[in-house]
Structure 1
Amino acid sequence: MREDCDVLIVGAGPSGAVAAQEFARAGMRVTCLEQGDWPDYEKARAGYADFELVSRKHWNWDPNQRRAGGDYPIDDAESDVTALMYNGVGGSTVLYAAHWERFLPSDFRTRTMDGVGDDWPIGYWDLEPYYDEVERQFAVSGLEGDPALPPSTPPPLPPVPLNKLGRRGAEALNKLGWHWWPGSNAIATAEYGPLHACAQRTACPFGCPTGAKASADRTHWQSLAKDQVRLTVRATVEQVLLDDRGRATGVTYLDADGVRHEVRAGVVVLCANAIGTPRIMLASADGSGVANSSGLVGRRLMMHPFGNAIGIFDEDLESWRGPLGQYLHSLEFYETDRSRGFVRGAKWNLIPSGAPLSFMLPGTWGDEPVWGPNFTRLLRERLGHSAIWGVICEDLPDPANRVLLDDGAAAGGVPGVRIQYRTSDNTRAMMAWHLERLSEVLDAMGATKKILNSGLRGTGWHLMGTTVMGDDPGSSVVDPHGRCHDVPNLYVFDGSVFPTSSGVNPTATIAANALRCARSLVARRRDVEVTS
């Protein structure tokens, strides 16, 4: 049987990019199939008068609204949270806010420490050297010495400036005696490889026009796709193919014209995110599914319920500029204290409020009518005078929260998905408690008005948990190295392997774990069982 490549990667997001680079450096023949296309930064309009009018069209976080060529339908009628993603070269790093956070040691031991979730089959120190490496790959800016985290290698770049708003937030937390530290961001603060220094246009999630944000299309794929990896865009994978012994032989995919192709490979690695990866696995074997003897493919979906606390101030804090990205973060109340009425915790981060349209839309900015007589008053009240504290709550795994195929929403013959997700009582109690504390922070900052928002629907940026890793094939889908228990040459390297979600942004851990798994596969490649 002829193989087109040694390793076939599905998905050109951060996990696919990190893995592809590692495989190519090992001299392996690598092919990557990406469902979307390259980002078109000519449509990154920050600095132009039409910026806010067009940014939420081309750069919309919701694929159901964006409806680009690489998107597929997601039925979220049975979900409390809307799943957000970007299908294209770079994956969701094209739209992420670039908050770069390592998981804490306790995040890997929630069952042992708090009696909830599951312990990971690896720990913080297993990932620590890989965190160091991917922080260099993704141009992380920050400041060493955060007392809430273990000691670590300094990030390659200094942190983004706190600016007036960041300093106001830091002073308030000092007054309360609560932890804060300059935020770590995958944002270049100086020229760094292909990246330029951040211009602080608050445009990170809308196609960074400066080229400062470390999205995987810029940090990895621009060089990889030139001569090291065969990257095929607008390639919608239908299914993983198996031989008679249950080994993966490759995949079939549809090109932009709907023509079916087959790629043969010795190893298949899925990096299509925690919705796209189970979608492919469930659709494989002509709909019978693959690697699912545990019944857990698609289950345990976690999406990090998100809320915020908004403050409005008399002073001009220049909150129209800065990184989106974060000025600073706080982990003061991250660890479990059962007297609060819930387990686990949350991260806070302070961000600018940005340009006018973002805070003149109804919903998260209170109940006052915006259009009409109030418009000028509210614009003057909010522009530059407002601050946003985000709160990310740890999302515990629940088998009832899941991804299912939706054949009725097929696009070109490839099924869409529907998601079932309900926010837990533990998360709701956690959110309410943390918003009360953030209300105290806003008071300490001198806010004249406060708006607290819990459980915001359109915030499912962090997709995790649907092909859980573990040692026991009966209670997990992949082993600690990302290899499927049922199919020894099929791997998963993205955030779907996470047993728990932590309470911080996951991209750093997705990238670090993908590097760890890729390096393990390279070291053991002669022992991998391939098709005969």
Structure 2
Amino acid sequence: MSAAHLTADVLVIGSGPSGAALSWRLASQGADVLCLEQGDWMTADDLPKSHEDWDARGRHGWNPSPGKRRDPVDYPVTNLGADPVDAYVYNAVGGSANGYGGHFWRLVPSDFRTKTLDGFGVDWPISYDELAPYYDLNERELGVSGLAGDPTAPPRTAPPLPPADLGRLGRRWIEGFERLGWYWWPHDQAIVTRPYRDRGVCTNRGFCTLGCPNGALSTPGNTYWPAAFQHGARLQTRARVREVLVGADGRATGALYYDGDGELREARAKVVVICANGIGTPRLLLMSRSPAHPDGLANSSGLVGRNLMVHVQSVALGRFDDHLDTFKGARGSVIGSRHFYETDPARDFKRGFILSAMRGNSPLNIALGGAPWGADHHGAVERAVGHDGAVWVCGDDAPEEVNRVELDDDKLDAWGLPGVRTHYRLSDNSKRIGQFGLERAKELLSAAGARDVIDTGLSPILGWHLLGTARMGHDPATSVVDASNRAHDVDNLYVVDGSSMPTGGSINPTNTLQALALRTADQIWSRRRELTETPATTATAGSAA
């Protein structure tokens, strides 16, 4: 191992949405922050939407599934179980937000008390009110667009920007909701719709998940990281962390990592924060086993890697006779509904789902997935582009210990570190949510005037939202971190990302996990007396070189 090492007050592992927000908040308060990121920066040239063949690039080098992308910076992910998850992970500055659509609704108060209210999952150790000011802060920093006054949510500060353009398709969705008598509301989006802090403004190029060349889509790389650097935060890319180190006093002292040349190095800090997503975080904790932590770091509960949640996700599709410019505008959805969000005793499942009325498929996906092959193939594609729409169902998914992430010592990454295996099955409750939700999605499509309505079913399980595998809670026997996101077992180790969420609600989690990260930063800063202590110079770890 190289004798050279980096030091900091706070070591952050993972530069995605939560790692970026936390790094900015702590650096702006005066902490010396170092972040280690396994991947590298995404350049403008890396974005598929910067190229004419963007649709093809999105299926290959930009594919969100590491098993399909097979980039050298990735680690192997094998998905098993009765209902295998297609786990989506980007190892890069900004993490998986590089491939998200910017859907940015908040959780609602009931999401924090599902056990008490509905006998579903577990309660959070914090309330909506404790997180609300951090939602406000996050939305200001990112430049979120939306509309205040949503009747299904508590009163809140208005989003800083107006909603994204609804377009012709958005107005058709509204007609469908109104015909059915269902509640609807414009989605909050992490998309700049008016000039804001020198950011690019949305030009309705569509298919945001394939990159936004003008920077209107708010990602960590164009929001929190530039601001963090202004306050002195440091970001080390191509830094593949092998394990978190723990001293003889039981406190974390830093981490061992491989640099881009494969050299083993050490980073030392007084506080360590893991922000490596719902499968990367348990992977690192389990790799950090030692004589003092034989089952993995922070794992006295045995729950590290357990309770994996991914939401109940599926899509229904339909085709409109009118050309509705369905390829233009925000991809993550412009109109959504929490009409079926809360538990209804008349239904045979607990909790509920959202319906997000979205733009249509890309031309290549239409060609490969819907247009019949033969002499009229090109004509069929031409008749479909601009005419199809989708309704996304996203339902609540209860934590179950059988759904889990574990190390895979049979499949190793480029530096010989273990990959992961996910094991997943849909519960009966989740299946009922999914089937009921798909029927409602098809009903909405028909009400909006679409024909040829179909759904894509519940398999494969979409793995965009990887949650619950190092969850928060008051009891060390039933949780991994406490209400401050501090590990029960290690006083100066924190975990804040999707893995720490006890339940997931029925929405994209990015806004929530960034709000959690900002709150955690303030919790760490409130204990800043620790930052004046000298870090331990002798570390112990199970396999430290």
TM-score range, shorter chain: over 0.9
Residue 333 (structure 1) aligned with residue 336 (structure 2) = no
User: 1:188 Cα deviation (Å)?
Assistant: 0.4
One of 208, 214, 217 as aligned partner of 1:210: 214
One of 270, 279, 283 as aligned partner of 2:283: 279
Residue 239 (structure 1) aligned with residue 243 (structure 2) = yes
Q: Which residue in the other structure is 1:401 paired with?
A: 403
Q: Which residue in the other structure is 1:311 paired with?
A: 318
How many residues align structurally?
526
Counterpart Cα distance in 1 of 2:152 and 2:457: 25
Map 1:73-222; keep pairs closer than 5 Å.
73-78=76-81, 79-222=83-226
Residue 65 (structure 1) aligned with residue 65 (structure 2) = no
Quick one: structure 1 residues 478 and 45, their matched pair in 2 at CA, closer, same or farther if it must change by over 3 Å?
closer
Q: Which residue in the other structure is 2:385 paired with?
A: 383
Q: Which residue in the other structure is 1:449 paired with?
A: 452
One of 289, 293, 304 as aligned partner of 2:300: 293
Counterpart Cα distance in 2 of 1:112 and 1:205: 36
Task: Give the conservation status (yes or no) of the 8 Å contact 1:80–1:423.
Answer: no
Counterpart Cα distance in 1 of 2:41 and 2:322: 42
Q: Normalising by structure 2, what TM-score?
A: 0.93
Question: What is the letter of the counterpart of residue 310 of structure 1?
Answer: L
Counterpart Cα distance in 2 of 1:300 and 1:154: 34
User: 1:531 Cα deviation (Å)?
Assistant: 5.4
Deviates more, 1:482-491 or 1:370-379: 370-379
Counterpart Cα distance in 1 of 2:489 and 2:51: 52
Task: Give the conservation status (yes or no) of the 8 Å contact 2:348–2:432.
Answer: yes
User: 1:358 Cα deviation (Å)?
Assistant: 2.2
RMSD: 1.7
Quick one: structure 1 residues 311 and 208, their matched pair in 2 at CA, closer, same or farther if it must change by over 3 Å?
same
Quick one: structure 1 residues 119 and 50, their matched pair in 2 at CA, closer, same or farther if it must change by over 3 Å?
same
Q: Which residue in the other structure is 2:40 paired with?
A: 37
Q: Secondary structure at the match of 2:382?
A: helix
Task: Give the conservation status (yes or no) of the 8 Å contact 1:489–1:530.
Answer: no
Counterpart Cα distance in 2 of 1:513 and 1:74: 26
User: 1:491 Cα deviation (Å)?
Assistant: 0.4
Q: Which residue in the other structure is 2:540 paired with?
A: none
Q: Normalising by structure 1, what TM-score?
A: 0.96
1:245-266 per-position Cα deviation (integer Å, ceiling 9, x unaligned): 2111110001121110001110
Task: Give the conservation status (yes or no) of the 8 Å contact 1:291–1:485.
Answer: yes
Residue 346 (structure 1) aligned with residue 353 (structure 2) = yes
- Structure 1: which 5+ runs fail to align? none
One of 485, 488, 494 as aligned partner of 2:488: 485
Question: What is the letter of the counterpart of residue 159 of structure 1?
Answer: P
Task: Give the conservation status (yes or no) of the 8 Å contact 1:57–1:66.
Answer: yes
Q: Which residue in the other structure is 1:508 paired with?
A: 511
1:335-388 per-position Cα deviation (integer Å, ceiling 9, x unaligned): 0113221111001111111431122223xx5xxx73223513431332111110
Deviates more, 1:60-69 or 1:509-518: 60-69
User: 1:137 Cα deviation (Å)?
Assistant: 1.2
Counterpart Cα distance in 2 of 1:38 and 1:309: 35
Deviates more, 1:334-343 or 1:375-384: 375-384
Counterpart Cα distance in 1 of 2:213 and 2:80: 34
Task: Give the conservation status (yes or no) of the 8 Å contact 1:243–1:531.
Answer: no
Counterpart Cα distance in 2 of 1:474 and 1:93: 32
Counterpart Cα distance in 1 of 2:43 and 2:121: 40
Question: What is the letter of the counterpart of residue 292 of structure 1?
Answer: N
User: 1:160 Cα deviation (Å)?
Assistant: 0.5
User: 1:456 Cα deviation (Å)?
Assistant: 3.9
Question: What is the letter of the counterpart of residue 511 of structure 2?
Answer: A
Question: What is the letter of the counterpart of residue 407 of structure 1?
Answer: D
Counterpart Cα distance in 1 of 2:430 and 2:261: 44
User: 1:516 Cα deviation (Å)?
Assistant: 0.7
1:427-448 per-position Cα deviation (integer Å, ceiling 9, x unaligned): 1111111111222212211112
1:226-262 per-position Cα deviation (integer Å, ceiling 9, x unaligned): 6611110010000011111211111000112111000
One of 430, 434, 438 as aligned partner of 1:435: 438
Q: Secondary structure at the match of 1:316?
A: coil
User: 1:80 Cα deviation (Å)?
Assistant: 2.2
Counterpart Cα distance in 1 of 2:143 and 2:72: 30
Question: What is the letter of the counterpart of residue 134 of structure 2?
Answer: Y
User: 1:327 Cα deviation (Å)?
Assistant: 1.2
Q: Which residue in the other structure is 1:410 paired with?
A: 412
Quick one: structure 1 residues 295 and 492, their matched pair in 2 at CA, closer, same or farther if it must change by over 3 Å?
same
Question: What is the letter of the counterpart of residue 195 of structure 2?
Answer: E
User: 1:56 Cα deviation (Å)?
Assistant: 2.3
Residue 426 (structure 1) aligned with residue 432 (structure 2) = no
Task: Give the conservation status (yes or no) of the 8 Å contact 1:327–1:351.
Answer: yes
Counterpart Cα distance in 2 of 1:530 and 1:178: 59
Quick one: structure 1 residues 149 and 197, their matched pair in 2 at CA, closer, same or farther if it must change by over 3 Å?
same
User: 1:275 Cα deviation (Å)?
Assistant: 0.6
Task: Give the conservation status (yes or no) of the 8 Å contact 2:84–2:461.
Answer: no
Counterpart Cα distance in 1 of 2:148 and 2:168: 22
Question: What is the letter of the counterpart of residue 300 of structure 1?
Answer: N
Task: Give the conservation status (yes or no) of the 8 Å contact 1:248–1:531.
Answer: no
Question: What is the letter of the counterpart of residue 320 of structure 1?
Answer: F
Q: Which residue in the other structure is 1:263 paired with?
A: 267
Counterpart Cα distance in 2 of 1:116 and 1:52: 40
Counterpart Cα distance in 1 of 2:317 and 2:497: 33
- Percent identity over the alignment is 46
User: 1:71 Cα deviation (Å)?
Assistant: 1.1
Quick one: structure 1 residues 71 and 38, their matched pair in 2 at CA, closer, same or farther if it must change by over 3 Å?
same
User: 1:203 Cα deviation (Å)?
Assistant: 2.8
